[in-house]
Amino acid sequence: MSAHEDRETTNDALEAALGYAWGDDQSWNLLTELTQLEHRMGGSPGEYAAADIVDEAFSDAGVADVETRSFPIQYWERGHTSLTVTEPVERTFDAIALPYSPPGDLEAPLVDVGYGTPKEIEEAGDAVDGAIVVASTTTPPGQRFVHRMEKFGHAVDAGAKAFLFANHVPGQLPPTGSLRFDREAAMPGVGVSRETHDWLTDYAGGEETARATLTVEASTTQGSSQNVVGTLGPDTDEEIVLLGHYDAHDIAEGALDNGCGIATVLGAASILAEIEDDLECRVRVAGVGSEEIGLLGAAALADDLDLESVRAVVNVDGAGRFRNLKAYSHASEPLAEMATDVSDQWGQPIVHDPDPHPFSDHWPFLRAGVPSLQLHSEPADGGERGRGWGHTAADTRDKVDPRNLREHAMLTALVTRTLTKQEPPRVEEPTLRDVLLEQDYEPGMRASDIWPEAWG
């Protein structure tokens, strides 16, 4: 059957649900409620309030048996941060501590390591040992994107005393982002703006040795976070997991990351609730907490489920932000083909990327072999590498176009509906390991302490 013929056989309930979705404000209303909170940092009172909002929104959308489940975390709280260049001049700059940074009070040479790639840190040689290193948030063209945690881990291994993560996006916007998963990091790390980065690299590149002092106040204590979970469709043994994280960093509204994602999940769940009779297996819908500090909610959800019964995971992290939906198929060719088929059938662009990565909520499932599709988005022109406004104080609701939320919710629902009718093969451990090795992920994942022990 051709894509055109298949579309012509679409049932009336689906057509009606999609038609209603064109004007549905549920996603926008959820985004508004979440971004009105003071913040949604993992384990904070704001995140708990957000869980209640998501719980009510899921129930109102028709998700059944919605419940909120608590799980333990290492709760990190930010205090005051002070950064002062002491040589060749004395000058203080704004900086913010990165989650899981330990407290610290130190003075050391200031060393620029460019983008913070392993090669650049290695080339800096002995200068990194005992230094405060400065690395950009972006990565050079022509190589895979190197994650913040990798850069930090390599700096730790090279003997650095502290890590300055410098935004490549202008606007006096120090970036945030966790230094590691689930517990306090090995050394202090802070974010600084692009404008500060310009001065720091100027000082570090001068004839005189640049030096700086850094003071970080922060604490890591026992805490808890929450997942909001419900179901749609028939009561089958096997299921599709549709999830998005609702937490965000404490310096912004978290509209793009990941208010848009959880709002897209809600919109998709509302459509799926209208076509439950057409779903061929259960869909478990989840809003997970504490993604930003270590994928902790997704890991807790994976621990709660029989992963052998999970056919596939649809991780909505980054969808709804920009014009074009982007699908990461994470080394699963059948998922890539499915996303292409949905795109062709409905005449809507879905940009595809086959390469896996371990830095979002699909990872606890993918590393166990569950086929995983991450739905992200990008500007129509492809945009610039990196997070853009994400992880900064500029991550606010005014950046969001409600039309993207609606369209991506429809596409997410169509992808999930299609997956209930398929049984994609598992992603075998050797396949996933080999692809990550080909992309040179092993050194960075080992430095970040997330390379699976079973892989050797």
Instruction: Give the residue numbers spanning the domain of 131.
Output: 78-221
Rounded-to-integer distance, Cα 219 and Cα 210, Å: 29
* Backbone phi and psi for residue 76, each to the nearest 5 degrees, phi listed first: -110, 135
Domain boundary among 186, 221, 256: 221
Low-confidence residues of the chain, pLDDT below 70?
1-10, 382-386
- Is residue 186 a part of any domain in this protein? yes
- Which residue, 185, 194, 172, is CA-closest to 216? 185
Residue 446 in any domain: the answer is: no
Judge whether 240 lies within some domain: yes
Instruction: Specify whether the CB–CB gap between 244 and 298 falls below 8 A.
Output: no
pLDDT tens, position by position, 88-133: 999 999 999 999 999 999 999 999 999 999 999 999 999 999 999 9
Burial class (CB within 10 angstroms; exposed 0-12, middle 13-18, buried 19+) of 313 = buried
Whether 200 and 226 map to the same domain: the answer is: no
Same domain for 357 and 405: yes
Query: Is 436 among the domain residues?
Result: no
Is the same domain home to 44 and 138?
A: no
Does 140 lie in the same domain as 187?
yes
List residues bridging with 68 in a β-sheet.
228
Looking at the structure, tell me whether residues 157 and 199 fall in a common domain.
yes
> Do 64 and 170 belong to one domain?
no
Residue 425 to residues 61, 197, 238, Cα–Cα distance (Å): 31, 46, 13
Of the residues 221, 238, 260, which one is the last residue of a structural domain?
A: 221
Is 199 a domain residue?
yes
- Which three-class secondary structure state does DSSP give residue 130? coil
Judge whether 196 lies within some domain: yes
Residue 165's identity, in one-letter code, is F
pLDDT of residue 1: 41
218/215 Cα distance (integer angstroms): 10
pLDDT of residue 381: 72
Task: CATH number of the domain at 65, please.
Answer: 3.40.630.10
pLDDT value at position 383?
A: 65
Contact in structure between 82 and 215 (CB atoms under 8 Å): yes
Quick check: is 438 in a domain? no
Say whether both 34 and 92 belong to one domain: no
* DSSP category for residue 139: -
Q: How far is CA 316 from the centre of its chain?
A: 9
Query: In the prediction, which pLDDT does 7 show?
Result: 52
- 389: in domain: yes
Query: Among 199, 221, 243, which residue terminates a domain?
Result: 221
Beta bridge partners, 163, equal 133, 189
Number of domains in the chain: 2
**pLDDT for position 2:** 44
On whether both 205 and 231 belong to a single domain, the answer is no
Q: Across-strand partners of 224?
A: 72
Alpha-carbon span 297 to 263, nearest angstrom? 17
Same domain? 292 vs 176: no
Residue 283 · residue 210 · CB < 8 Å:
no
Q: Give the separation between CA 407 and CA 343, rounded to whole angstroms.
A: 12
- Residue 345: the pLDDT is 93
Q: Are residues 190 and 296 in the same domain?
A: no
CATH at 123: 3.50.30.30
Q: Are residues 226 and 213 in the same domain?
A: no
For 293, phi and psi rounded to 5 degrees? Answer: -115, 30
List, in order, residues 6 or more apart from 347 with CB less than 8 Å away.
Answer: none
Whether residues 68 and 85 share a domain: the answer is no
